[in-house]
Chains A and B, each alone.
Chain A
């Protein structure tokens, strides 16, 4: 037989012109199992909106059969990077890091509407640089919220409607202690990561996280000098900026001598656990390994701890939504259900599609507002029949997104981090 090997240009160990490693591209055998879980494929039935199709595009560019062009860039940003495909891939294709690498190359040819470019720049390249800047950004948003008719304004510009709906929400800034100590024996020292968006919009979740950690026997330290983990940058074609933030965070946090480094943001957690890989060729590589080894999502810590005694009953019906970066990226399936299952009398519902992306996906709503809104609508339509008293999700982006959708539907129920609900069961109230 004279079948030619037409993939000679994919040299093992080398990075391709499309961005990903040749080895990662070759790992895909094109079986198509990923199509069954890919939210964008399921909605469109279009191959180029699927992981297999995106990898085929990467392969074509890598092999020189197609140019690195605007269409390629568009396909890479059509992806939610929810990584549902990774969890079902029989061949173990590391799709998340592939699409991240492809986006770095895509940045050179991508075309975006001016408003989207500007919003991206403000958020990624200005606001997230430091806590001080971000505080200023939040103050500007506070002013913005006072403009009458602002929603109409945002609706006109491409991509801004979602951004407005999410970041236009009021922040929630209760005070956080710097240190909490359990009354009994100490299991270890936990450093709580407060992040960026979480720290301005979801402080109550931080407070609840700290309280549950103390209840589980940890001494909790909440460093004031920590900042963003860089997840949004890594996910959106700016690994350099991501690495800068990551290196700072590693240095800062390790100074506090943590036994465990705790995050309650699924998106951050997935990146924090990959620090060793992401910072591999930098001066901070060793520290990153050290850091990565200690990172845990709050669910992991609480589920590994002995069951907390005397949890009070909470008579309520809650719907659990699982962030993609918790179930698919960190492979922590069902942890919210398990955790809340410990609260007496709480009715916990995990809908059939609880693991499907809600369309938030970091700043995806800015890039692809229509798809984002469609996924959100599908999600809320599916959970409406449960008539929940509240909805929980362990990621800030998802919470903002779900709140946006709930508001549009006139639902007046709490939508918050599961640890807040769990903390209600703590005896010392």
Chain B
């Protein structure tokens, strides 16, 4: 699929003739687009098209079809499953400049935006209307709406509000063959196939999104945050389940384990209880009466589960102090070792303790101490293995530990990814959770959208041979 030397100038000429102004070809230039934030892989594209308009994207996709060049869309390149890693010799289509807010419709609580718009900038822009965009992946200050759509991103506040797909009302999609379609829209329901839902989370394999209609959420009138510490992980996990079972849906329910707390205390001095085995951060929002009652209910449940300390924050400054350590966690962890492998999978809440214990055992076997800071409310685990590439074999050991952890999670009834996507990272593990028939159906779907297999190929779905091997 790579470009022949004699074709190179013809392709370049075609991009230019199609009106695209910025096309990069110098090896130093294209190397800058060889990878995203996934540590596992990189590949040199032959061309990088820097789209300045939706028309540029359409033009680029058509040229790619003419020359049978695989293409990969890229937003901010913050994905950690390798979704934006190009095919060697293929084309990267950068959407970073398509960052305009095209229309804000406060009455219908939605907005049309470009895919390159940074998540946080959207919320900042609509703040004067008393609205925000709810999904808040940890990368929200840099990741783009387009990238969030591709990965169906989650975040701490997705427990109550739902993940990205629950906040995408419509899309403009450039099909892999170059036609432009609009999926969904401002109406509440659309008959027929929910293609919008299909495209969200498809990791760029079904086309390139050039406009997004996002749902905007009213800012809650009141917020309360609790920081609850426990002497045992089991108590903390039981409290999480009890809170949900009691019918309280906190907007956030985050857990940090002891190794993680120790690092946070050592490097950022957040004032978290240092002797706790686990700490929960619980946030409830809504109307004042409801919030006060729910916060009290959460505190009671926690105490009934042997919580040693409950701190309650009501004003923004106190709340920020409780969140401070959680937000600084990854920075603190990076000070331990230069490299890390961050995992992402979901297990049933009831099996959190069991899985966390197994994760620790596996990591210790490979000489690591796992750090856990994760969305406990929906059982979305993010065990983090820190290592130093300079240590011989450390990287390989981290990978092997990761493989074992994934299998444990799946055996516990969990699944491969909570919010980071499959990409390259977990592509060949898909047969662990999907039958050959499931995968064949997905492949047929992909082919229906992308008959020439050019849109971000070799992502999400296992390579046919590797898939069969992994199943055994």
Contacts and interface: CB of A to CB of B under 8 A. Distances in A.
A48 B37 CA distance: 16
Interface string A6-33: 1100001100000000010011011111
Interface in B384-411: 389-390, 395-396, 399, 403
A60 B31 CA distance: 6
Contacts, number: 105
Nearest to A67: B27
Contacts of A5: 395-396
Pick from B42, B97, B399, B403 the residue with the most CB of A within 10 Å: B42
Interface of A: 1-3, 5-7, 12-13, 23, 26-27, 29-33, 35-36, 45-48, 52-53, 56-57, 59-61, 65-67, 69, 71-72, 75, 90-92
A23 B390 contact: yes
Given A36-B142, A57-B28, A57-B31, A29 B78 contact: no
Interface of B: 26-29, 31-37, 39-42, 44, 50, 76-78, 94, 96-97, 99, 116, 118, 139, 141-143, 330-331, 334-335, 338-340, 389-390, 395-396, 399, 403, 428, 466
19 contacts: A1-B428, A3-B41, A23-B338, A26-B390, A27-B338, A29-B339, A29-B340, A31-B142, A32-B76, A45-B97, A45-B116, A47-B94, A57-B32, A61-B28, A65-B27, A65-B34, A65-B44, A66-B27, A91-B334
A32 B28 contact: no
Contacts of B403: 1
A36 B141 contact: yes
Nearest to A59: B31
Contacts of A12: 389-390
A10 to B, nearest CB: 8
A61 B331 CA distance: 28
B41 A30 contact: no
A36 B390 CA distance: 29
* Consensus secondary structure, chain B interface: loop
Contacts of B389: 7, 12, 26
B76 A35 contact: yes
Contacts of B37: 29-32
Contacts of A90: 330-331, 334
Nearest to A46: B50
A159 B377 CA distance: 57
Nearest to A27: B338
B78 A31 contact: yes
Contact of B32 (A45, A60, A91): A60
Given A30-B37, A91-B338, A1 B399 contact: yes
A90 B37 CA distance: 13
A346 to B, nearest CB: 26
A35 B428 CA distance: 31
Given A45-B96, A92-B335, A33 B28 contact: no
B77 A47 contact: yes
